[in-house]
Amino acid sequence: MTQRALTGIKVADFSHVVAGPLATHFLALNGAEVTKIESPRGDNLRNYTLDPAQRGLSPAFAGINAGKGSVVLDLKTPAGRAEAEAIIAASDVVVENFRPGVMARLELGAAEMRARYPHLIWCAISGFGQTGPLADVAAMDQIIQSLSGLMSLSGLPEDPAMRVGFPVVDTFTGLLAAFAIQTALLQRERGLCAGQEIDVAMLDAALVMMLSVVNPLLIAGEAPVRTGNRGFSRAPTSDTFSCAGGSAITIGAVEDGHVAKVLAVLGLEPLLDDPRFADRRARAENADAMADKMAEVLQTRPAAHWEEALRARGVPAARVQDLADAVAMSHLTGRDLFLDLPARDGGRQRILNAGFRFAEGGPGTAYPAPELGAGRQATS
């Protein structure tokens, strides 16, 4: 059986909450042995729940710490620091997301540790990076969403700024950090470096995540326009529409061929003979007028009807679902998207896997998130 790509790689994880633990979560799913170094109180995310029975292993914590070990150390004591250094020395990768300078004040900083252990891949995750005027400023996901411009992208022009409804910056930052770490490991394996020091900033990551709107701004001075649920193309046929019975559908028709098929399904083919809607530019200039005509027809049937009819013609379309309906889709069966792990109460719990599949040696783990101080945990 093919082993996972990071089998044998040891990771000392000093991170907490989301971005750092998510980075090491992806390393663990790919076979790395990850040891969380936690304070006596534990990672704050352990208690991110209103249910007393879930305290210590909240769903948010359990979902991104499966397959890791947990060692409790008081880094403010000489004994705690000595044990932490021993773990670092035996590791390939160190991940930390303290404010810049905290690890150095504990005499466990990147410069000192890498001087002693030059093989280390050291990844520091922070709000604004290890350098620059904002390096010492505290940050969290919604703060970066605000400062980065992300909150000004969604909705309509007259709407107030609105954050994305989950910690999207933390999530992308964690993924970017995991990618950077694996890139550095490959550098080291190829002899291109002895070790590496990685600086991942949430603000940088947020801007990279928005590259589809940031690059046009940088290259051509094109500021993004808020278009609500209308697609990036601004085509009126690429939007979300209300349907019968309180349902809704999103249609993604941009190219002329797809537009013609949508109008045929809706019985609106004559619109293409109207100069206002005859080509892509004209449709964009008269988008609201065309969308109104489509909306009138779409409201006559449920979203499921239109979804089936449009898909039959090869048009991208999907009914609007809530999250529970999405994760229950039969399509996901056999996709290796979920992991079934032991739960604290003796039952089972389901969490998300990495989201990609390998023919052999793909991501996953058989172990749940650790209780605080549970010790080292093998990966599988």
Strand partners for 318: 250
Q: Residue 175 is inside which H or E element, if any?
A: helix 168-189
Contact 122, 114 (CB under 8 A): yes
Contact 61, 48 (CB under 8 A): yes
In the structure encoding, which two tokens stand for residue 245, read together? 């019975």
> Which of the following is catalytic: 170, 273, 279, 340?
170
Output the CA angle 35-41-47, nearest 5 degrees.
Answer: 90
Q: Which strands, in side-by-side order, build the sheet including 238-242?
A: 238-242, 248-252, 317-319
Contact 125, 177 (CB under 8 A): yes
Question: Is 322 tagged catalytic?
Answer: no
Mode of pairing for the β-strands spanning 10-13 and 93-96 = parallel
Output the CA angle 320-323-326, nearest 5 degrees.
Answer: 70
**DSSP designation for 375:** B
Alpha-helical runs (H) found in 234-358: 256-265, 280-285, 287-298, 303-312, 323-327
Contact 281, 254 (CB under 8 A): no
Contact 318, 306 (CB under 8 A): no
Distance CA 100, CA 111 (A): 12
Distance CA 168, CA 171 (A): 5
Angle, helices 202-209 vs 141-148, to 10°: value is 60
**DSSP designation for 7:** T
Contact 125, 181 (CB under 8 A): no
Contact 124, 100 (CB under 8 A): yes
Active site positions, annotated: 170
